[in-house]
Amino acid sequence: MNKQHPSSPSRGRFDGQTWLLLIVNALFATAHALSGTFLGVYLWKSSGNFALLGCFALINHICMALTFWLAGHEVKQGRKMTVLRLGIAASAVFYSLVLLFGSGAIRYIWLLGIVQGLAAGLFWLAFNTLYFEVTDADNRDRFNGFSGVTGALAGMIAPWCSGFVISRMQAESGYRLIFMISLGIFIAGAVISFFLRNRKTEGSYEWLLAPRVLREAHNPWRRVVLALASQGLRESVFGLMIGLLIYIQTKSEMQLGNFTLLTSGISFVSFYVVGRWLKPAWREKGLLAGALVMSAVVAPFFLGIKLGVMLTFGIGIGLFMPFYSIPMTSSVFDLIGRNEDSAKQRVEYIVMRELALNAGRILGMLAFIVTVSLSKSPSTLTAFLFVIGCSPLLSWFFMRPLLARHASGRASADPEPA
């Protein structure tokens, strides 16, 4: 049977800790949506160099992976709330450095990449551990739906406000104001985090759990790690490029804000509906539908990366991303909670999940840097984006046996067939 950690909430319902965690997540998402949407544009204006921006993202992903692995020991020792607050503080430091460096930030791309990777690794390790502890198999899809709704809401309002402010002020002043507002929101998130409980963990930290688990024949984690790496491939490249491509096409921060307002508004509705409707038994079909559409909407890029094509892409992603992301996230965390022994090692399994995602992100960004360094041709970039954009299909392929067991009612802990 699919057992959960003893501290999990009652079936299907959210308790006060769950709502507090959603609020912290919403504040973190809002701060990043305010500034993160335009960070790539800000750096692009100083360099005009895709490969240099790729190096920034690559350093970020490498440092994030190392932070997850190293900080796992501190979380296992019961200091997850300290790690969470350090992650929020490091995010504040990151935007403080951007403010300090100003238009010369591009010269310190290595330092900015390290600090942002450190911030993301600390925050998401602690957050995901808390997420596992305050949810169970009955409300995990619902939590992910609510989390997606708040993220989409932040993506609707914050970037549009940023674009409006930046376009109405002298460019440097507008960016500085937005970065300062983000700082304030991070501080508010740190304050609220003091109301979250620090639940105890058991045992000592197993530094090499991932290689041990991956050596076990027919262990479902072998396929899950490949699925997560495939997910990371797309996240790294598209996370860097989509907003930047919109700006390059329009030369307007306001138009980028309008794009995120429209696409995030669609995502807001979709996350709400899918989060309430999608049941564990339907995850396989949901993931397949999401992966198919997310791959298909990249094909119009071959017609030229124009604003209309990008809008079609954004609408398709907004509608179908929840079908992909909710099953991926919920199924992996259900696997972590499949029995009491696994739940006791939740920190190590969460670290393994994040290492797999970041392995894909690193591989995707390395491929991006090599591609844009070897060729400046738009057709080459388009072909590369199409190949990377089809990686959700790989995630579905690798996750299919695990999701099929959900659909048939078998426990996720069952070994894979030989």
Q: Is residue 104 in some structural domain?
A: yes
What is the per-residue pLDDT for 406?
62
The number of domains in the chain is 1
Closest of 264, 354, 294, 317 to residue 63, by C-alpha: 354
How much is the average pLDDT of 291-320? 94
Which of 87-91, 167-171, 256-260, 349-353 has the lowest average pLDDT?
Answer: 167-171
Taking the C-alpha atoms of 80, 85, 86 and 91 in order, what is their torsion angle to the nearest 10 degrees?
A: 130
How much is the average pLDDT of 334-354? 92
Q: What is the largest CA-CA distance in the chain?
A: 64
What is the per-residue pLDDT for 410?
47
Residue count of the chain: 418
Q: Is residue 217 in some structural domain?
A: yes
Q: Is residue 6 in some structural domain?
A: no
Closest of 217, 202, 219 to residue 352, by C-alpha: 219
pLDDT at 407 over 70: no
Closest of 109, 97, 257, 111 to residue 176, by C-alpha: 97
Cα→Cα distances 325→70, 81, 146, Å = 26, 26, 13
CA distance 74 to 232: 25
Q: Is residue 277 in some structural domain?
A: yes
Q: Is residue 321 in some structural domain?
A: yes
Annotate 116-139 with DSSP letters as a single string: HHHHHHHHHHHHHHHHHHH--TTT
Taking the C-alpha atoms of 154, 160, 162 and 164 in order, what is their torsion angle to the nearest 10 degrees?
A: -160
pLDDT at 4 over 50: no
What residue numbers bound the domain in which 395 lies? 16-408
Residue-wise pLDDT for 127-184, tens only, equals 999 888 888 877 888 888 888 888 888 888 888 998 898 888 875 788 888 888 988 8
How much is the average pLDDT of 398-418? 63
Q: Is residue 417 in some structural domain?
A: no
Q: Is residue 415 in some structural domain?
A: no
What's the chain's average pLDDT?
88
pLDDT at 10 over 50: no
Q: Give percent above pLDDT 70 in the chain.
A: 94
CB burial of residue 241 (10 Å; 0-12, 13-18, 19+) = buried
What is the per-residue pLDDT for 8?
44
Residue-wise pLDDT for 53-68, tens only, equals 999 999 999 999 999 9
- Any idea what the CATH number is for the domain that residue 344 is in? 1.20.1250.20
Under 8 Å between Cβ of 410 and 333: no
Q: Is residue 60 in some structural domain?
A: yes
